[in-house]
Chain A
Amino acid sequence: MTSSHSAHDPHVASGTTPGDNDHLQGGGGPNPPEAPVARPGESLAREAWRRLRHNRAAMTSLILLVLMAVICIAGPWLLPWDLAEVDWENFGTGPTLANQHWLGTDANGRDLLTRTLYGGRVSLSVALVATLVSLVIGVLYGAISGYIGGRTDNLMMRFVDIMYSLPFMFLVILLMVVFGRNIFLIYAAIGAVEWLDMARIVRGQTLSLKRREFIEAAHALGVRDSKIVTRHLIPNSIGPVIIYVTLTVPKVILLESFLSFLGLGVQEPLTSWGVLISEGTSNMQGAPWMLIVPAAFLAVTLFCLNFLGDGLRDALDPRTR
């Protein structure tokens, strides 16, 4: 399992210098000496895109991911079966070309491919929404904390530290137990767990940025604080944030399937990859395809997301090559 609240993601840590690790300090630790700062402007984006395009693994992954998303969204409309439709003649039959269940059926006679694609919709939407939630909270929190600085920053980061030490996974499990199996709760709960890292990264960026000339200039010109944060600080931290987002998405997908595996996922007839894998596990002796099919979809997606994440990091932060 991914750690639900890793203070340093391996990739982030490796993307910066070792001294950049601000795991130790709540508020006033040493600032990243030389964080990779994205310069605003189109040239950088174009430069990054050029580098990304030359990364064959990342591009293949990107194409596969788009394909996966398209299949999951459009596939169910094209397939002859419905999500909850039971084929009474084919309970738990293996993959075959004979009966239009190309990847077999589940133990209830429902088409496994159809369910896997529907499950993909859920898993991918959880990934997107939860990442978005964590992104919004984390970026705002981090930028505000870093920009205001001083005692407020100290206090806000203390709070983050406190949150870090919470056994979060346990609270999420408790939440799911308490409020039942509900997809919106999954969005919110996972998003609420994942924003901490984002807040720290953005804060670090902000701290180093705000001493730069153009911010001080804006200050001197009397630009409002809120405008400085939204117009200058956040856009300028976008590079590391994008890197981090690509790392969060697979983590969120894993987290969702982890919860589903423990039986805390979405309600029938809805499904997700985690739910399908959990069902497959209990049928793997005798009906291994029920485990293999959803596991393969999940694994391919996670593979691609990781490759793409690596590629994006290389593209946005050329020093690591």
Chain B
Amino acid sequence: MLSYIAKRLAMAIPTLLIVITASFFLMRVAPGGPFDGERQLPPEIEANLMAAYHLDEPLPMQYLRYMGNLLQGDFGPSFKYKDFSVTDLIAQGFPVSLELGGLAIALALLLGIPMGVMAALKRNTTVDYLLMGTALGGIAVPNFVIAPLMALFFGVMLGWLPVGGWNGGALPNLVLPVVALAIQQIAYIARMMRASMIEVLGSHFIRTARAKGLNERQVIWRHALRPAMLPVLSYLGPAIAGIITGSVVIEQIFGLPGIGRYFVQGALNRDYTLVMGTVVFYGILIVLMNLIVDLLYSLFDPQIRYDD
């Protein structure tokens, strides 16, 4: 197990190297620099700025400097937000994204699994069609359409919930973004749960359990639920990735200070270090998340062993 973890972590090194190198050079070949803007700078001021951020050095030199700093855990100063280092910004933005994403995943599991089980048990009845129709709606209408509509309806028209802003993570501010972010995952999980539940219910060991005279509730809760949840579990990795990318749009729409928004704004502002910092951070996050999901999976399914 430990050696498996070590192996997976070692594999993350080339991944991160690719991420860092690709995004470093992509950013640098992008037209427009961090100091280009409406206000054309006099040449001497531009020179001062370039020197202050070492942008006057040759590109390979800048790359080595960046890698060197990175190895010491230093993401560098933000070009745009001069009162913050990139590390400061990520430390400020990540808890926001984490809270948003964590709650969305929790909501997706809490709603998606029961929906799927219910639909499976009432297969081909009105309940099933209703639930799965709703789920399909969640898949077919993208979150960037749902989010503004919810803001308009619940925020502006009814005035029940704030239409944006973080407010230190107050519950009313969280409701709309979390729901918008979770809807699609709820739908996916419900559909998946239904399918795998149907399959498990039709399998030999459930038939055996029934034959032994266990009552239906015991059959479902004791025997069917756990194996049926396996695909859902293995979907968690992609779900987390989906929530991370989804939160880029949601943070944008609701004006939340998460790192998804830092990334987009950074890319548009050519804030090289901030973009690099967020991409590297996401790279590490995704590697870790995939690892955690896989380990979780092994807990649920003892047939899987990590000894190859």
Contact = CB atoms under 8 A, between A and B. Distances in A.
Touching chains A and B, CB distance < 8 Å: yes
Interface of A: 1-11, 13-15, 17-19, 21, 23-26, 28-29, 158, 161-162, 164-167, 169-171, 173-175, 177-178, 180, 250, 254, 257-258, 261-262, 277-278, 281, 284-285, 291, 295, 298-300, 302-303, 306-307, 320
Interchain residue pairs A-B with the least CB separation, the first 8: A3-B242, A6-B238, A14-B195, A10-B192, A302-B140, A1-B246, A167-B282, A169-B245
B297 interface: yes
B56 interface: no
A299 B144 contact: no
Given A1-B144, A24-B297, A250-B140, 10 more contacts: A3-B242, A6-B241, A14-B199, A18-B196, A18-B231, A23-B237, A162-B14, A167-B19, A277-B142, A302-B141
Interface in B164-206: 184, 188-189, 191-192, 195-196, 198-199
A149 B268 CA distance: 43
Contacts of A21: 230-231, 234, 297
Contacts of B148: 281, 284, 291
Contacts of A295: 141, 145
Given A18-B230, A162-B14, A285-B152, A173 B267 contact: yes
B136 A25 contact: no
Contact of A1 (B11, B245, B287, B290): B245
Contacts of B141: 295, 299, 302
B154 interface: no
28 contacts: A5-B238, A9-B238, A10-B235, A11-B191, A14-B231, A18-B231, A21-B231, A21-B234, A29-B308, A161-B11, A162-B11, A165-B12, A166-B19, A167-B244, A170-B23, A170-B245, A174-B23, A175-B26, A177-B267, A177-B268, A180-B31, A261-B249, A262-B249, A284-B148, A285-B152, A300-B140, A306-B136, A306-B140
B239 to A, nearest CB: 7
Contacts of B14: 162
Contacts of B143: 1
A192 to B, nearest CB: 12
A9 to B, nearest CB: 8
Interface string B258-301: 00000110011000000100110011001100100010011001
B136 A284 contact: no
Contacts of A169: 244-245, 248
Given A3-B238, A24-B304, A173-B264, A261 B144 contact: yes
Interface residues of B, number: 71
A166 B244 CA distance: 13
B27 interface: yes
Contacts of B144: 1, 257-258, 261, 277-278, 281
A19 B294 contact: no
A167 B238 contact: no
Contacts of A300: 140
Q: Is chain B's interface secondary structure helix, strand, loop, or mixed overall?
A: helix
Contacts of B50: none
A236 B95 CA distance: 48
Contact of B142 (A23, A258, A285): A258
Contacts of A14: 191-192, 195-196, 199, 231
B198 to A, nearest CB: 8
A254 B145 CA distance: 11
A14 B235 CA distance: 10
Among A7, A165, A174, A295, residue most surrounded by chain B Cβ atoms (within 10 Å): A165
B156 interface: yes
B189 to A, nearest CB: 8
Contact of A165 (B26, B196, B287): B287
A124 B279 CA distance: 30
Nearest to B294: A24
Contacts of A17: 199
Contacts of B238: 3, 5-9
